Structure 1
Amino acid sequence: MTQVFFHCSNTKKVFLDYNGAVVNDLAEARDHATRVVQSFTNMRGSEDWRDWVLHVSDDQGDELFVVPFTFVLGKPH
């Protein structure tokens, strides 16, 4: 198990995750990252999220992977 952090950013804003989550593996981190993206887009209304990226980092600050919000949201209709 490892502690990972889920920071969200675009070119104008950054939201830092100070608590993180304990995950067993990268698959669990990916699933949690998807839920984080969904919670951001659901709670913040009509903001355009297409230029946002979720950065997943370990407790040493090393980036494990990134998830562009568009991967979760899909293309606009």
Structure 2
Amino acid sequence: MFYLYFHCAGPGEILIDRDGSEVLDLIEARDRALSLARILVEGAYGTRDFTDWHVYVSDEDDEEMLLIPFADVMPTIH
């Protein structure tokens, strides 16, 4: 079990996760980070550019565990 924080950051802006979440492993942490990015992108679709944003997943000592780019959940045009 890990206790991790899921901060979101982009050019000139940081959304700090002050509460954190308990996850079983880094796979669950990655899934949670992708879900968070997806929620933010879908909630602001067309009104905000998340191209350079990422989810910074860290432990209680602020050690980086994962860095997930929002690009992983951005819609693509085929």
Same fold (TM over 0.5): yes
Aligned residue pairs, count: 76
Name 2:45's counterpart in structure 1: 45
Normalised TM-score (structure 1): 0.89
Given residue 38 of structure 2, which amino acid in structure 1 is its aligned partner? Q
Given residue 19 of structure 1, which amino acid in structure 2 is its aligned partner? D
Once the two structures are superposed, what CA deviation does each residue of 1:3-48 show, in whole Å capped at 9, x if it has no partner? 1111111121110011111001000101101110011112223211
Structure 1 unmatched runs, 5+: none
Is 2:44 the partner of 1:66?
Answer: no
Name 2:17's counterpart in structure 1: 17
Q: Give the aligned CA root-mean-square deviation in angstroms.
A: 1.2
Identity among equivalent positions (%) equals 32
CA distance in 2, matches of 1:67, 1:39: 14
Normalised TM-score (structure 2): 0.88
CA distance in 2, matches of 1:43, 1:23: 24
Deviation at 1:74, TM superposition (A): 4.9
